[in-house]
Structure formats: C-alpha cells, structure tokens
C-alpha cells in the first residue's frame, strides 16, 4: 500500500461551559499541533444554528486557522454551496488563496448544513438548492478561470487562481458529479456510512480526467479516538455518542464531558441509531486502532484519510492526534517494508 496521507476535520466543537471563542482558539491550537505532526490538511465544516459548533462562518474560521499556521493546507469540509451565491464563495476563497497561496482547499457540499427553518433564514432570496448544485459548481469554477476580455462579472480576488475544488458527499450524487467533472471526492463516512462503497465504486468507474486531476482521488472520513489504553479511548468516545443522541433528539447541545458508561443515557432505538451513524469509528490504544485503520484503508483503497474526534478535554484531544500520527507512521513503515520484500 502506498503511504496514505492523514488529515483532520474539525467542527470547532463548543464544550459545555465554554464559548464559541474558546472553541475556535482550541481549533487553532489543534491545527498548530497537527501541522507539527505532519498531517496534510485541516478542514472546517459549515453548520448553522447549532450550539455545539462554532465554524458557521467557515471562510472566516479558515482565515483564522491559516493565519496561525504556516504549512498545513486549510480548507472547508465543506462549504454548503446552496447557502451561497457562487460568486461570493469565489471571492471569499480567492481572498484566502491570495493571502495564503498554495494552502487553501475548497470542499463543497450540497446539503444545507442545518434544519429547514434555518436554511430559509440563511438563503432568503437565493434560489440555490440541491437541484441546482451541478450548475452552481460549474459557475463557481468559471470564476476561478482566467477572465475573458469581455467578461462582465469577475471574481476579484479569485480569477486565475488555483483553488482546488473538492466535492463532498454522503450519498452517490456527488460521487457521480465529481467523476463527471474530474474533481477529487471526499465521502462523509464518519456520520453517513451506508453508501460509502457504492459511492467510491461509482466515482472510480465513471471518473473523467480533467485539467484538475488525471486520475480519481478519494478521501474517506472516520472518527478516531486514541488513548494510552483501550478503556480510556472508549471513555473519550462517549462524548461523541452523546452528541449523536442529542442530534437524534434535536436538542443541539454543547459537547459533553465523557462518562464511564452510556447505560441509561440512551434508549435501545437511540443506541441503534448512533451505532449506525458511527459505524466508521475507531477507539483504542495505538495497537488497537492501527489494525482497524489498516483494514479500513485496505477495504476502501482510500487515497487519503481524514479523521475527526469529538473529544471534550483539549489535552486528551491533542494527545489522541499525537498518538494517531504514530499509528500513521507505523502503518507506512510496515507497508514500505512489506513492499520491499516483494
């Protein structure tokens, strides 16, 4: 297996008892930490009207993270394009690319990133929807192309800049579109595992080379919690489990501290739902997680792995990504040694 880059998806989780400002500062600390550890990307995601997520103004958060780091790629995982006019997104990410050249990624999703009522409040007069997403993506691409002499509407900054566009998906729709447009594709298997393999197969089978990419490039997402012991990692994982119980109930709570047991905190139906959502979640010591991730990479043939972790304690979160970097390195070392023996 070729060395697979590891990246980080961070939603700037707001912990119980803290503020969005605290969450964003913790995100910057994490970004600096994983930059030193050799992670490739640090992505933030657009969500709205959620008390536990501070990355709603995603382009602003990206600017903050990019300004506090120096080498790691920073981007969106993703911007929900139906909430925005393509020209506005082109100007925002053109500005980011102008300030931090060669370090900005633009991941695009077609979901609203919120509930229907908040979606209407966001969009007002915008006509964008999931149905117009393919046309909106192509319009956005046009703003990054070199301007034509008689072009009436231009993105400044934006035109002529190399801002890599990714399509993100939790179903097969964007897999097909990414294949048709010759764009890299990231699947949200960290919360929507059901269509992972079908989407990857469709993307690879129907991929059309483009000026952006000559072969398919697929990123897979997973929740990963690493600690010095299996038991401590399992305990850290309960914050994520409680977060998804809150999502099922529609309560939008802040990130809760971990508990020793989930007994009594969810119903059997809620537990089944959480386990379905979090199928691609791995927790344990480095040795435990290493074998799980190796299986995931073998199973999906992913070109890149992006990981996220709803961990309440910041020190434990930093430690988890530090241990995960060691897991990554040993996977690569083992694979390199195996390849040299063949």
DSSP 71-112: SSEEEEEEEEGGGS-HHHHHHHHHHHHHHSTT-EEEEEESS-
Could you say which residues of the chain have pLDDT below 50?
340-342
Of the candidates 41, 101, 102, which has an alpha carbon nearest to the alpha carbon of residue 72? 41
Query: Which conformational region is residue 284 in: left (phi greater than 0), alpha (psi within -120 to 50 degrees), or beta?
Result: left
- In order of 151, 165, 303, 314, 336, the CA distances from 186 in angstroms are 32, 11, 10, 27, 25
Task: Say if CB 319 and CB 312 are below 8 A apart.
Answer: no
Question: Angle between the 20-36 and 58-68 helix axes, to the nearest 10 degrees?
Answer: 50
Res 147: pLDDT: 86
Task: Verify cis geometry, omega within 30 degrees of 0, for the bond prior to 157.
Answer: yes
Domains and CATH numbers, the chain: 6-228+281-341 (3.20.20.30)
Q: How many CA atoms lie within 13 A of 166 on its CB side?
A: 24
Q: Model-level pTM?
A: 0.94
- In order of 21, 22, 254, 332, the CA distances from 15 in angstroms are 11, 9, 5, 34
Of the candidates 340, 241, 260, 335, which has an alpha carbon nearest to the alpha carbon of residue 290? 335
* Phi and psi at residue 228, to the nearest 5°: -70, -20
* Whole-angstrom distance, CA of residue 312 vs CA of residue 15: 6
């Amino acid at each position: 297996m070729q060395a697979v880059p590891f990246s980080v998806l961070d939603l700037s989780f707001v912990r119980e008892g803290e503020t969005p400002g605290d969450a964003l500062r913790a995100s910057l600390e994490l970004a600096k930490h994983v930059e030193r550890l050799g992670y490739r990307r640090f992505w933030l995601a657009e969500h709205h009207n959620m008390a536990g997520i501070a990355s709603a103004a995603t382009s602003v958060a990206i600017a903050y993270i990019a300004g506090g780091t120096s080498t790691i790629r920073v981007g969106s995982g993703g911007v929900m394009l139906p909430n925005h006019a393509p020209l506005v997104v082109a100007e925002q990410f053109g500005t980011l690319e102008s300030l931090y050249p060669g370090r900005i990624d633009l991941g695009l999703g077609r979901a609203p990133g919120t509930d229907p009522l908040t979606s209407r409040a966001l969009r007002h007069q915008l006509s964008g929807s999931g149905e117009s997403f393919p046309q909106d993506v192509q319009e956005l691409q046009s703003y990054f192309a070199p301007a034509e002499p008689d072009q009436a509407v231009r993105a400044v900054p934006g035109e002529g800049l190399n801002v890599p566009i990714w399509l993100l998906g939790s179903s097969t729709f964007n897999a097909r579109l990414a294949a048709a447009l010759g764009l890299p594709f990231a699947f949200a298997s960290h919360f929507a595992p059901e269509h992972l393999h079908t989407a990857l197969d469709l993307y690879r089978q129907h991929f059309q080379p483009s000026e952006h990419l000559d072969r398919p490039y697929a990123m897979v997402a997973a929740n990963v919690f690493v600690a010095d012991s299996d038991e401590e990692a399992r305990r850290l994982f309960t914050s994520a489990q409680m977060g998804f119980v809150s999502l099922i109930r529609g309560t939008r709570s802040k990130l809760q501290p971990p508990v020793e047991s989930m007994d009594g905190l969810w119903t059997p139906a809620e537990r089944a739902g959480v386990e379905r959502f979090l199928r691609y979640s791995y927790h344990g010591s480095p040795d435990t997680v290493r074998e799980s991730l190796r299986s995931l990479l073998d199973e999906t043939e992913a070109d890149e792995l992006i990981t996220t972790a709803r961990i309440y304690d910041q020190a434990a979160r930093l430690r988890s990504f530090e241990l995960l970097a060691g897991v990554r390195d040993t996977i690569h070392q083992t694979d390199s040694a195996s390849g040299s023996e063949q």
